[in-house]
Amino acid sequence: MKRQKTVYEAAIEHGFSRRDFLKMCTALAATLGLEFTQSDQVVKAMETKTRVPVVWLQFQDCTGCSESFIRSSQPKTESVLLEMISLEYSEVLSAASGHQVEASMEQVLKDYKGKYVLAVEGSIPEDDSFLMVAGKSAKDTFLKMAEGAMAIIAYGSCSSWGGIPAAHPNPTGAKSVTSYVKNTPTILVPGCPPIAEVMTGVIAHIITFGKLPELDQFGRPKAFYRHRIHDKCNRRAYFDAGLFVESFDDEGAKQGYCLYKVGCKGPTTYNSCAEMRWSGGVSYPIQSGNPCIGCSEKDFWDNGPLYTRRAKIPGTQTTINPDSVGAAVVGLAAAGVTVHAAGTVIKKKIDDKRGAEE
Ligand code: SF4
Ligand code: F3S
């Protein structure tokens, strides 16, 4: 069996200085939500732990999850691919192809049984005739590789829930990974696609701590899926003040008002978009003017229609009803919330104006 290099050894081999390595560990600690003082735990893990072998299988997908993964900025994708994991099989990223790459999958089963991570992108059809790779059905390949894996990471809404391939009428009988496998520890990382840093962060956690991150009742890592988009949204003050976009070309849209009435699913969606944002923290759909379509939630494609207002807002942290705010003051408490929120909006406008003048 090949001796795996430690993450530190691999980093030095790829031209990292000690300083670069420490910077990578500090960034990683921040992504994992650790205190700065806990960075030394990450450094120690990366110095001593060997790279984790990863097999990345793709089934009924659009490759959007792989596309997202290769855009991670913290940790950088090249650090993950070259130093932290040893990517043994990937249809998109492996240099080898055909028989060679198929042989490397068999080799993983021989060399690393019980030690490799199986990443899965895309749903798996119940009917084998819909997806065969290298003469084998998607289901057979998945079951074979799942049995020998230390853990499965379901990347994206398709492998986590079935996703778009499983949307009504689900012609292929598309299913999630957990429909087939119950005994191998599985982490769901839903999203269409998931945020790059969430994808790399989950692998980094397994390497650093040698175990799965803490999961919620659905199997999602709590660190990244514990908040509703609505509760961290940059447009929330407008929601609380009752200021809504009514159509995409109105004055409210130009002012950046809340997108609830044009179909935002932020009140029912759990994901880190509003906190971590996308493309290295640049923006996320709502900030860019598009309502959240709830892409990380189960059956999001059938929970539509998209861009149509939800009938009700669930959840206890929602302070107001968008229909009544501004039309009537319902008691002192509600008035207090509205005045405070409106104050926030007015202050923001004053600040914006000052900024523009300066
Ligand atoms: Fe943000 Fe959507 Fe909630 Fe409005 S409804 S505050 S746009 S998440
Ligand atoms: Fe998806 Fe909504 Fe985030 S559409 S990318 S969960 S803002």
Could you read off the pLDDT of 197-231 as tens digits, one per residue?
898 889 888 888 888 999 999 999 999 999 999 99
Q: Ligand 1 within 6 A of 194 CB?
A: no
Q: 3-class DSSP state for residue 132?
A: strand
User: Which tens digits make up the pLDDT trace of 22-57?
Assistant: 888 887 787 777 777 778 888 888 888 888 899 999
How far apart (Å, rounded) are the C-alpha atoms in residues 61 and 338?
44
Question: Which numbered atom of ligand 1 lies nearest the CA of 244?
Answer: 4
Q: What is the DSSP letter of 213?
A: P
Q: Residue whose CA is closest, atom 1 of ligand 2? A: 295
By C-alpha distance, which of 126, 92, 91, 121 is closest to 105?
91
How far apart (Å, rounded) are the C-alpha atoms in residues 107 and 125?
26
By C-alpha distance, which of 295, 307, 300, 305 is closest to 167?
300
Ligand nearest to the CA of 268: 1
% the chain with pLDDT above 70: 86
Choice from 199, 234, 273, 307 to test ligand 2 binding pocket (greatest atom count within 8 A of CB): 273
Residues with CB under 6 A from ligand 2: 191, 229, 269, 271, 273, 284-286, 292-296
For residue 278, the cross-strand partners are 283
Is residue 106 scored above 70 in pLDDT?
yes
Q: How far is the CA of 244 from the centre of ligand 1 (A)?
A: 9
Burial of 148 per CB tally in 10 Å (0-12, 13-18, 19+): middle
Q: Is the Cβ–Cβ distance between 208 and 45 less than 8 Å?
A: yes
Position 340 scores a pLDDT of 43
Q: How does the average pLDDT of the chain come out, rounded?
A: 86
How far apart (Å, rounded) are the C-alpha atoms in residues 164 and 220?
19
User: Which tens digits make up the pLDDT trace of 60-69?
Assistant: 999 999 999 8
Question: Which numbered atom of ligand 1 lies nearest the CA of 286?
Answer: 7
**Three-class DSSP labels, 22-39:** HHHHHHHHHHCCCCHHHH
Position 320 scores a pLDDT of 60
Q: How far is the CA of 279 from the centre of ligand 1 (A)?
A: 20
Domains, the chain, in order of start with CATH, read 7-224 (3.40.50.700), 229-357 (4.10.480.10)
Burial of 262 per CB tally in 10 Å (0-12, 13-18, 19+): buried
Cβ neighbours of 140 (radius 10 Å): 12
Choice from 238, 243, 246, 264 to test ligand 1 binding pocket (greatest atom count within 8 A of CB): 264
Q: Residue whose CA is closest, atom 2 of ligand 2? A: 292
Q: Is the Cβ–Cβ distance between 72 and 199 less than 8 Å?
A: yes
User: Which tens digits make up the pLDDT trace of 254-294?
Assistant: 999 999 999 999 999 999 999 999 988 899 999 999 999 99
Sorted by sequence, the CB contacts under 8 Å of residue 10 that are 6+ apart come out as: 51, 82, 83, 84
Residue 352's pLDDT band (cuts 50, 70, 90): low
Q: Ligand 1 within 6 A of 177 CB?
A: no
Q: Ligand 1 within 6 A of 245 CB?
A: no
Q: How far is the CA of 291 from the centre of ligand 2 (A)?
A: 8
Burial of 347 per CB tally in 10 Å (0-12, 13-18, 19+): exposed
Residue 3's pLDDT band (cuts 50, 70, 90): low
Q: What one-letter code names the amino acid at 240?
A: D
CA angle 269, 67, 282 (to 5 degrees): 60
User: Which tens digits make up the pLDDT trace of 131-173?
Assistant: 999 999 999 999 999 999 999 999 999 999 999 999 999 999 9
Q: How far is the CA of 277 from the centre of ligand 2 (A)?
A: 10
Q: How far is the CA of 261 from the centre of ligand 1 (A)?
A: 9
Question: Which numbered atom of ligand 2 lies nearest the CA of 297?
Answer: 6
How far apart (Å, rounded) are the C-alpha atoms in residues 273 and 276?
6
How far apart (Å, rounded) are the C-alpha atoms in residues 114 and 148?
5
